[in-house]
């Protein structure tokens, strides 16, 4: 089973303006993904963190600090090949109860699966355990966030929060149901910190101790280290990607204008041991004019049809150089 995961899919005010189509009076983000869609589609499952809510009222189409995007933002994400979107993050409740509900509905409407937020208890009980089997490999994915920025989650709605007992319960339930690989997807840490902080280390250790095989992180908006190692009991593989950075955003402070596509292959070997193979971290950079996501390696090899201005190229290559210094990145 081949999986690709990207970092934060954000939609700031300037992006909303860019995605507007005057002729049809609607929005479409597909142009942002023009040069990465083939890369993203080369997997059994492609995952990304949806760090905005979906709104209907144009007055609610806003970027920071309370994100609300037109459903057309999801159009590009869908067309690019995404299958699963994490919706539990610190912006989940930015547009209140309607935002939580409509975001879930919109992701489903666009043919993708939301993980981490729920409209009520019945929805939670039905969807809380995301299990998938491909080529005989069974996986589970659970998504949690450290907070909703102090905005209350009202009614019976649920935004899954980081909780040690809940993580242990989720991993145990997955294992009891024959799941081979358990993936925990965390929204945690400090923004713009290039090394994992104590809280990240804490939650990663809790997840690994509970029996998780893979832990994916986001929220810092910068790429942090990737650890691939074998646990000591059965010598099975474990993978921790502390933060995948920004995949799409209008952020432009140093180290926030890009991210990585994490790719890995899940296998069970002849001795029934879990293996995580062919791990790669493809660097991408967001060209701010049109918010085009550029796969840097393919750009350098003249495999994409666009040429960015020299000053932008210089910044993109500086970002690539920065990524090369981060432990565990493979590209």
Contacts of 232 (CB under 8 A, 6+ apart): none
- Rounded Cα distance between 274 and 266, Å, is 7
CA diameter of the chain: 61
The range of the structural domain enclosing residue 206 comes to 2-324
Average pLDDT of span 144-165: 98
Please write the tens of the pLDDT for every residue from 228-251. Answer: 999 988 899 999 999 999 999 999
Average pLDDT of span 155-176: 98
Average pLDDT of span 47-51: 98
Going by pLDDT thresholds of 50, 70 and 90, the confidence category of residue 177 is: very high
Examine the pLDDT at 149 and tell me if it is beyond 90: yes
Residue 195, helix vs strand vs coil: coil
Please write the tens of the pLDDT for every residue from 268-283. Answer: 999 999 999 999 999 9
Going by pLDDT thresholds of 50, 70 and 90, the confidence category of residue 330 is: confident
Residue count (the chain): 331
Is 329 within the bounds of a domain? no
Is 206 within the bounds of a domain? yes
Please write the tens of the pLDDT for every residue from 299-308. Answer: 999 999 999 9
Contacts 24+ apart (CB under 8 A), 300-308: 304/35, 305/35, 306/35
- Rounded Cα distance between 96 and 57, Å, is 13
Examine the pLDDT at 163 and tell me if it is beyond 90: yes
Q: What is the pLDDT of residue 331?
A: 80
Is 331 within the bounds of a domain? no
Is 286 within the bounds of a domain? yes
Question: What Rg, from alpha-carbon coordinates, does the chain have?
Answer: 19
CB 218 within 8 A of CB 186: yes
Residue 59, helix vs strand vs coil: helix
Is 91 within the bounds of a domain? yes
Is 194 within the bounds of a domain? yes
CB 279 within 8 A of CB 240: no
Please write the tens of the pLDDT for every residue from 203-220. Answer: 999 999 999 999 999 999
Is 98 within the bounds of a domain? yes
Of 327, 274, 258, 295, residue with least CA distance to 36? 295
Q: What is the pLDDT of residue 154?
A: 97
DSSP codes joined into one string, 253-289: STT-SEEEEEEEEEEE-TTS-EEEEEEEEEEEEEETT
Outline where DSSP puts E strands in 87-203: 113-115, 117-118, 130-134, 137-145, 158-159, 181-187
- Rounded Cα distance between 49 and 6, Å, is 7
Q: What is the pLDDT of residue 9?
A: 98
Is the peptide bond preceding residue 65 cis, with omega within 30 degrees of 0? yes
Count the domains in the chain.
1
- Rounded Cα distance between 25 and 170, Å, is 44
Please write the tens of the pLDDT for every residue from 99-130. Answer: 999 999 999 999 999 999 999 999 999 999 99
Task: Give the H or E element holding residue 69.
Answer: strand 68-69
Examine the pLDDT at 168 and tell me if it is beyond 90: yes
Average pLDDT of span 128-134: 98
CB 145 within 8 A of CB 188: yes
- Rounded Cα distance between 117 and 96, Å, is 13
Please write the tens of the pLDDT for every residue from 71-86. Answer: 999 999 999 999 999 9
Is 330 within the bounds of a domain? no
Whole-number average pLDDT of the chain: 97
The CATH number covering residue 269 comes to: 3.60.21.10
Strand 158-159 with 117-118, pairing = antiparallel
Average pLDDT of span 16-28: 97
- Rounded Cα distance between 49 and 86, Å, is 5
Q: What is the pLDDT of residue 50?
A: 98
Q: What are phi and psi of 28, to 5 degrees?
A: -155, 120
Of 35, 110, 116, 43, residue with least CA distance to 77? 110
């Amino acid at each position: 089973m081949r999986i690709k995961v990207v970092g934060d899919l954000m939609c700031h005010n300037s992006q909303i303006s860019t995605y507007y189509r005057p002729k049809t009076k609607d929005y479409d983000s597909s142009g942002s993904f023009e040069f990465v869609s083939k890369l993203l589609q080369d997997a059994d499952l492609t995952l990304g963190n949806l760090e905005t809510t979906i709104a209907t009222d144009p007055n609610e189409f806003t970027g920071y600090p309370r994100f609300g995007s037109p459903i057309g933002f999801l159009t590009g994400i869908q067309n690019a090949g995404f299958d699963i979107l994490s919706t539990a993050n610190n912006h989940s409740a930015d547009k209140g109860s309607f935002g939580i509900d409509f975001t879930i509905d919109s992701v489903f409407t666009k043919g993708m699966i939301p993980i981490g937020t729920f409209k009520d208890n019945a929805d939670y009980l039905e969807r809380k355990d995301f299990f998938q089997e491909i080529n005989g490999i069974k996986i589970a994915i659970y998504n949690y966030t450290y907070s909703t920025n102090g905005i209350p989650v009202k009614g019976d709605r649920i935004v899954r929060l980081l909780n040690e007992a809940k993580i242990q319960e989720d991993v145990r339930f997955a294992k009891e149901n024959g799941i081979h690989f358990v993936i925990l997807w965390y929204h945690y840490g400090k923004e713009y910190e290039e090394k994992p902080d104590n809280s990240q280390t804490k939650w990663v250790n809790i997840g690994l101790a509970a029996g998780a095989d893979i832990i994916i992180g986001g929220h810092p908006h910068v790429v942090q280290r990737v650890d691939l190692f074998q646990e000591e009991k059965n010598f099975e593989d474990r993978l921790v990607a502390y933060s995948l950075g920004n995949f799409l955003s209008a952020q432009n402070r140093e180290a926030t204008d890009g991210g990585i596509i994490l790719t890995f292959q899940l296998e069970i070997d002849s001795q029934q041991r879990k293996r995580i193979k062919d791990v790669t971290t493809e660097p991408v950079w967001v060209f701010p004019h049109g918010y085009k996501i550029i796969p840097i390696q393919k750009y350098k090899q003249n495999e994409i049809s666009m040429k960015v201005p020299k000053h932008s190229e210089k910044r993109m290559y500086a970002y690539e150089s920065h990524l090369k210094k981060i432990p565990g990145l493979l590209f």
